[in-house]
Structure 1
Amino acid sequence: MENDRTTTAPSRLRAGFVGAGFMAEVHSRAARAAGVEIAGIASSNPASAARAKDRLGVDRAYASVQDLVQDDKIDVIHVCTPNATHVALAEAALKAGKHVVCEKPLATNVLDATHLVELASTAGTVGTVPFVYRFHPMVREARERIASGQTGRISTIQGSYLQDWLLSRDDDNWRVDAGIGGPSRAFADIGSHLCDLIEFVTGDRISRVGALSRTLFTGRANHKNVQTEDLVSAVFATENGAVGNLLVSQVAPGRKNRLMIEISGSESTLQFDQEAPETLWLGKRTGSQLLVRDPAALSPDAARLSVVPAGHPQGYQDAFNAFVADTYAAISGDIREGLPTFRDGLRAAILTESIIESSNSGQWIDVPGVKQLEGVQQ
């Protein structure tokens, strides 16, 4: 029997990659799973591109990014480079008529993110940002239960995203450098995922924030005068009247990639934990239930993303594969539910600037809407 839940992209698409690090590896696995041709790669220099070509199994290494972007045989460009380079690379690709998958953050400030949204709209091309946690089937199940009213009126939202990879002073990475990674690190890097998931699952928008941030190490192994934050704590209110709190940290011992949201309504509570993505906790006054991923028992959108039978675990790479497959489907005109676009990248930039402003001022900040900042009709 054919598995109608599996999504694949038209084989005629040819993808080009910019960047040769960890995220390029993740993107390449997803592109290959979607059935497209990974036609070329460019990196910071020809030698790096040549090494990545062999490591990732790409057809051709290009001498420069410009050569890759200007090649008429390439249909879609994946931007997998450090944050501060995203805008120029995405802009060049869009102006060359390419579809673009741009790693987050789409841009390190709202102005640049707005520019890319408008440029993609004018070009008539598909632009997506990998907020891939949306593609866990149990996230879609939580979203459907809220949208259908089963959870009742939402009153409170808790969320956290905790990691420990920058726990000590000796831990270092280019992301700590504001000139490369942008003015926010922990929030822009992982807090953006958390807020995207909260807004996607609830169908509501964060409207006001009050935030605190801390930088535990102003000097690290290879970076002095570090100004980007290690952790952020915030309280917030939503447009529909819910209240919530969030905690984001890259210095939480033992937590490797713990993204959790808990949403309470008048009828039940839902909790999703990305480190246990096969289950969704449902709490009621009269008892609780651990709902296990089973395509036969899930809502249609969750079942579509369940590409293997119940009891065969799915995880992060599966979610990434689904995001890339849905991006490629959109390029061919098949727009599927929940695809994160450049507008969602702009939304993340807006939230990031609001968090920074609140933390710096010690004041509550009203979060602008996307429509207030870009003239493109939503």
Structure 2
Amino acid sequence: MGAALRSGIIGTGFIGEVHAHAVRAAGGTVSAVAGRTTASAERAAPALGALHAAASPEALIERDDIDVVHICTPNATHAQYTKLAIAAGKAVVCEKPLATSVEDAAELADLARRHRSVAAVPFVYRFYPAVREARDLARRGDAGRLWLLHGSYLQDWLASPQATNWRVDPARGGASRAFADIGVHWCDLMEFVTGQRITRLVASTSQAFPERSGEGGPSPVTTEDGASVLFETDQGAAGSVVVSQVTPGRKNRLWFSFDGTEASLSFDQEQPDTLWLGRTAAATRVAVGPDTLTTQAGRRYARLPAGHPHGYQDSFNAFVADVYDAVRGGAPDGLPTFADGLRAAQLTQALIDSAQGGGWVSVPAYDKVSTII
């Protein structure tokens, strides 16, 4: 492989464009794009900056001018395309959820290990400089013992009975919607920052709109609009998270507060230019910038001066840059792999089991083996 990695993007929607921008920012080339049809790929190619439109996802995976396959399709198709890409010897970036079942996610994680593949899942909130700063402060012990871990992830893009897309259909999106789509982001971030693992949880799910309008008129909804989760960790902490895709006015508010015996660490994705650091004597909003953050990891991802917010696309760019570093033989710290995708699938299944059974459910131990060899 040359210095400029060549990528293929399967999927022509919003997230495909985000991937394409990140590929170019990392110095890569979008060699080809594939959609549901050849015509959809041809329409999307100019917007994604792709050199070619592939006839199908399978045809894209088999191309010789592609080193990394980015899978940005409906959830139920992730497993089949990922298997083909790994078998073809490609590095893979698969959108979350990695798969719609624990069994498929475990198979993909094992497949990536056996093929020694670079295989990553875009848990991109790890790549905010404020988050890296919080992680290093927690590791350093600045907050003391973290004992209360709480927060929320709230959106409003489905806050209407007329708002719908493929994610509402469990056949395409999976049995869980709000938690599998955004709740796993929060859980990944909590475990990444604190180093603690959820060992058991109890959950309830609810629907703001039991019916949604589709092409055939109103139809029943079987996936959740929101969820509330209580959990315990392997280090004795208690926690909670509220997830919603129907909270008016909240566009993409991922918020956490990780409370320790010495300090609390809080981050709000809708206000990403500060990290809130609370102590009994005073609370401080630490500005995000290479000259204002105090830890090496925080400064590494702070590419802009303080006062110039680092946003979602910047974090996605940093994630893809680290993936491509791994493809070239590097070992970037904190890269989310298929092991983390499997972890998300296990947490999602625990939520489903708890919501259906009404009690506490144990979560399997985290598989710490990276899929990057």
Could you say which TM-score interval applies, normalised by the shorter chain?
over 0.9
Give 1:10 shift: 6.5
Q: Distance in 2 between matches of 1:183 and 1:217?
A: 17
CA distance in 1, matches of 2:138, 2:367: 24
Q: Structure 1 375/284 Cα, relative in aligned 2: closer, same or farther at 3 Å?
A: closer
1:286 aligns with 2:281: yes
> How far does residue 54 in structure 1 lie from its aligned partner after superposition?
1.8
Q: Cα distance, 1:132 vs. partner?
A: 0.3
**1:204-243: CA deviation from partner (whole Å, max 9, x where unpaired):** 0011101000122232110622100000001111100000
Identity of aligned residues (%): 51
Q: How do residues 350-369 of structure 1 correspond to structure 2 at under 5 angstroms?
A: 350-369=346-365
> CA contact under 8 A between 2:118 and 2:371: conserved in structure 1?
no
Contact 1:210 1:364 in 2 (8 A): yes
* 1:6 matched residue in structure 2: none
Looking at structure 2, the residues matched to 254 and 10 of structure 1 have their Cα atoms a distance apart, in angstroms, of 46
Report the Cα distance in structure 2 between the residues aligned to 1:137 and 1:179, rounded to whole angstroms: 37
Q: 2:341 is aligned with what amino acid?
A: G
Alignment correspondent of 2:319: 323
Computed over aligned residues only, the root mean square deviation of the Cα atoms, in angstroms, reads 1.7
The answer on whether the counterparts of 1:10 and 1:329 sit within 8 Å (CA) in structure 2 is no
* Distance apart, 1:11 and its partner CA: 3.6
1:187 aligns with 2:183: no
The alignment status of 1:234 with 2:229, answered yes or no, reads yes
Maintained 8 Å contact 1:282/1:288: yes
Equivalent runs, 1:29-48 vs 2, <5 Å: 29-48=21-40
Q: Report what 1:27 is aligned to.
A: 19
1:145-164 to structure 2, matched below 5 A, reads 145-164=137-156
Shift of 1:135: 0.2
Question: How far has the Cα of 1:376 moved from its partner?
Answer: 8.4
The whole-number CA distance in structure 1 between the counterparts of 2:183 and 2:239 is 14
Specify the SS of the correspondent of 1:198: helix
Structure 2 unaligned blocks of 5 or more: none
Q: Which residue of structure 2 lines up, in the alignment, with residue 338 of structure 1? A: 334
- Cα distance in 1 for partners of 2:3, 2:236 equals 46
SS in 1 for 2:52: coil
Q: Does the residue aligned with 1:275 lie in a helix, a strand or coil?
A: coil
Q: Would you say the 8 A contact 1:10–1:328 is kept in 2? A: no
The answer to whether structure 1 residue 219 and structure 2 residue 208 are counterparts is no
Aligned to 2:252: 257
Secondary structure (helix, strand or coil) at the match of 2:212 reads coil
Structure-2 residue corresponding to 1:5: none
**Residues 11 and 37 of structure 1 are in contact (CA less than 8 Å); yes or no, is this contact kept in structure 2?**
no
Residue 309 of structure 1: CA displacement? 1.9
Q: Quote how far apart the aligned CAs of 1:341 are.
A: 0.4
Assess, with a 3 A threshold, how the Cα gap between structure 1 residues 290 and 150 changes in structure 2: closer, same or farther: same
3-state SS of paired residue (1:139): helix
Q: Does 1:58 align with 2:50?
A: yes
Per the TM alignment, residue 56 of structure 1 is displaced from its structure 2 partner at its CA by: 1.5
CA contact (8 A) 2:201 2:232 kept: yes
- Taking a change above 3 Å as real, the CA distance of residues 23 and 226 of structure 1, as seen in their structure-2 partners, is same
Alpha-carbon distance between aligned partners in 2 of 1:341 and 1:237, rounded to the nearest angstrom: 24
Q: 1:132 aligns with which of 111, 118, 124?
A: 124
Q: Which amino acid aligns with 2:241?
A: L
User: Gaps (5+ residues) in structure 1?
Assistant: 1-8
1:118 aligns with 2:110: yes
User: Residue type matched to 1:90 in 2?
Assistant: T
Across the two proteins, how many residue pairs are aligned to each other? 369
Match of 1:268 in 2: 263
**1:375 CA displacement:** 12
Shift of 1:311: 2.1
How far apart, CA to CA, are the structure 2 residues paired with 1:369 and 1:178? 27
- The counterpart of 2:344, out of the listed 348, 354, 357, is 348
User: 2:288 is matched by which residue type in structure 1?
Assistant: R
Question: What is the CA deviation profile of residues 84-116 of structure 1, one whole-angstrom value per residue up to 9, with x for unaligned ones?
Answer: 000000111001110000000000111000000
2:76–2:172 CA contact under 8 A, matched in 1: yes
CA distance in 1, matches of 2:183, 2:32: 32
TM-score (norm. length: structure 1): 0.95
For 2:211 and 2:100, locate their aligned partners in 1 and report how far apart those are by CA, in whole Å.
Answer: 22
Label 1:35 to 1:44 Cα distance change in 2 as closer, same or farther (>3 A): same
- Where do 4+ consecutive residues of structure 1 move more than 6 Å? 374-378
For residue 309 of structure 1, the aligned residue among 305, 310, 313 is 305
CA distance in 2, matches of 1:264, 1:10: 46
Q: Is the 8 A contact 1:154 1:263 kept in 2?
A: yes
Are the counterparts in 1 of residues 97 and 181 from structure 2 also a CA contact under 8 Å? Answer: yes
Q: Distance in 1 between matches of 2:147 and 2:248?
A: 31
Q: Distance in 1 between matches of 2:120 and 2:269?
A: 21
Is the contact between residue 10 and residue 36 of structure 1 (CA under 8 Å) also seen in structure 2?
A: no
Query: How does the TM-score come out when normalised to structure 2?
Result: 0.96
> For residue 288 of structure 1, what is the amino acid of its counterpart?
A
1:156–1:242 Cα contact (<8 Å) kept: yes
* Native 8 Å contact 2:156 2:247 kept in 1: yes
